[in-house]
A and B are shown apart, each in its own frame.
Chain A
Amino acid sequence: MFEYDFMRTAFAASGVAAILAGTVGFFLVLRGQTFAGHALSHVGFTGATGAALFGLSPLAGLVGFTFVAGIGMGLFGEKLAERDVAIGMMLSLALGLGLLFLHFYTSAATQATALLFGNVLGVDDSALISLVVMAAVSLAALAFIARPLIFASLQAELAEARGVPLRFVSAAFLGIVAIAVAECAQIVGVLLVFTLMVGPAAAAQNFSRRLRGGVALAAGLALAEAWGGLTLAFYSDWPTSFWITALSGLVYFASLGARKLTG
């Protein structure tokens, strides 16, 4: 299957997005902010459809919108980012707006499906370069804030007393999450971002009791699921996103079993 250009690009794009998603997702699960990540993806839908409506690049709209929303959510503090109802309302409001943009944007149907459920085979070279650059910057930023981020995630009050700027850490992290969400949306679509960001990370935390090993495992699982999904899609001709969600679900439920067994 590697004789096809589009498959090579798809493998590269999904690999980059998966490693970023798995790594960032580990911290998202550690902080108990998975729902915030889910909401950000819906905000991304609005950004992408809005950008398309105004003749801009959907990827730019997706990234720009989620990034601003992520920083905003972080600045409102830990409290808002954990408030289910507020996030849920934001999520439906964003989807509703996205629907309105689609309504005005005539060549809507295929565009909408690609946004909602992903279209990894449609990633072109220039998009791939954007994905690689954004992933590299995000991972570097994440490594830079990782220590205070872990401390603040596990023991916020103690971290605050030790001088960790909680609000800055929270905002910077959700900014990084937003980029990861935007990348994932390119591969599996905004509705299925959970499958690459949360599935592998949650499974890794069930399999591993260590931080460092857990992060590596989350990234590895996400990569395996993304590439596995692409391969299965190639041979079965079923949608890639379906296969990735299937693998992600399988691994997650297996991890629950493993956790039961090992206590």
Chain B
Amino acid sequence: MSALRFEDATIRLGGRDILSAASFVVEDGEFVGVLGANGSGKTTLMRAALGLTPVASGAISVLDRPVARGNSSIGYMPQNRGAVGGQRLTGYDIVASAAIGARFGFARLDKARRREIDWALDHVEARDLARRSIGELSGGERQRLLLSQALLGRPRLLLLDEPLISLDPAFQKGVVDIARRLRDELRIAILFSAHELNPLVNAIDRVLYLGGGGAVIGAVDEVVTGPVLSRLYGAEIEVVRIKDRFFVMAGDVDVERDAHRHEGGGHAHFHQHGGAHV
């Protein structure tokens, strides 16, 4: 069984093809890093798998079934965390609101649901954090707490959109370690998007590189090379590797650094930018 399959999938947003006839397969239980410049379709890919963005042509299947909205076998952590950061509510109430938030009516937080919440919190070591006000947590702690929500309903596929954004390197490592542990303990497939490959490089099984509307998946050594990325972007790209660190350069611009700076500029939705920054 494959966790996520794109077959010649084209996704169009605002008259631009974010993905054009992209094909790739993520196997069950593998940890895949999703990379690519701003506007290359990382978020769009996840939203399409969730059924939130329509496919213009081609097909997407999740766990061998067609895409459906509200699919409970997918756990999602959006890049835009919403209004939780400024709240004074306890982490527990935030996670609980997600656990029963999809139901209308007079749903109560019963024993079974509480157990489910505790189970999710335990898997990201956030049981203690959940007692505190979310506004008091550090960036890394908050990320862990929010990550627990993606586990509610025991999904088979996790889509984590930029969980490392605006985290210090030490916290970044903590979040990556948790993701790796989730794959090992729960044997679920994880798509983990990031601006930089380096924090992920020792943890992921494969890398999915997006660019120029296309997608390439494979081992880091095979994909993150000058020839493969140049073909993907249709431009001259060089990859410099120093031990376990990769630097992807277009001309004399470091592509990933550049992407990072743009994100820092406060643009929440990358697809509003022009083309890929290559």
Residues of A within 8 A of B (CB): 31-32, 143-145, 147-148, 150-164, 205-206, 209-211, 214, 259, 263
19 A–B contacts, CB within 8 A, in A order: A143-B106, A147-B103, A147-B104, A147-B107, A153-B83, A154-B82, A154-B83, A154-B84, A154-B94, A155-B81, A155-B82, A156-B82, A157-B82, A161-B74, A161-B76, A162-B101, A163-B69, A163-B70, A209-B133
Q: Are B106 and A144 in contact (CB under 8 A)?
A: yes
A209 touches B82 (CB 8 A): no
* CB atoms of B78 and A161 under 8 A apart: yes
B103 with A148: CB separation less than 8 A: yes
Label chain A's interface by main secondary structure.
Answer: helix
Whether A157 pairs with B101 at a CB distance below 8 angstroms is no
The closest CB in chain A to the CB of B80 belongs to: A157
* B193: min CB distance to chain A, Å: 14
Known: A152-B101, A154-B89. 9 other contacts (CB 8 A): A145-B104, A147-B107, A150-B101, A154-B82, A156-B83, A158-B78, A159-B102, A161-B78, A164-B102
Establish whether residues A210 and B104, one from each chain, have CB atoms under 8 Å apart when the complex forms: no
Indicate if B136 sits at the interface (CB-CB under 8 A): yes
Residue of B nearest to A259 (CB): B88
A158 contact set on B, CB distance < 8 A: 76-78, 82, 98, 149
Q: Give Cα distance in the complex from A157 to B103, angstroms.
A: 16
User: Which of B72, B87, B101 interacts with A159 by CB under 8 Å?
Assistant: B101
- Residues from chain B with a CB closer than 8 A to the CB of A210 are 89-90, 93
- Bound-complex Cα distance A53 to B106 (A): 42
Residue from A32, A151, A161, A211 in contact with B89 in the complex, judged by beta carbons closer than 8 Å: A211
Residue in B closest to A156 when the chains form the complex, CB atoms:
B82
Given contacts A32-B83, A157-B78, contact A162 B104 (CB under 8 A): no
Chain A residue at minimal CB-CB distance from B87: A154
CA distance A31 to B82 in the complex (A): 10
Complex Cα spacing A263 to B88, Å: 10
Cβ of A155 and Cβ of B98 under 8 Å apart?
A: yes
- Nearest CB of chain B from residue A156's CB, rounded to whole Å: 5
* Nearest 6 pairs of A and B residues by beta carbon: A163-B70, A151-B101, A155-B82, A157-B78, A162-B102, A150-B97
Contacts of B136 in A (CB 8 A): 263
Q: How far is the CB of B22 from chain A (nearest CB, A)?
A: 21
- Asked if A160 and B87 sit within 8 Å, CB to CB, the answer is no
Contact partners of B15 in chain A: CB under 8 A: none
Complex Cα gap A214–B88 (Å):
11
* Cα distance A147–B100 in the bound complex, in angstroms: 7
Q: Is the CB of B102 within 8 A of A205?
A: no
- For residue B175, CB closer than 8 A to chain A, the reply is no
Q: Which of B74, B90, B98 contacts A151 (CB 8 A)?
A: B98
B88 partner, pick from A152, A159, A205, beta carbons under 8 A? A205
Interfacial chain B residues near A161, Cβ < 8 Å: 47, 50, 52, 70, 74, 76, 78
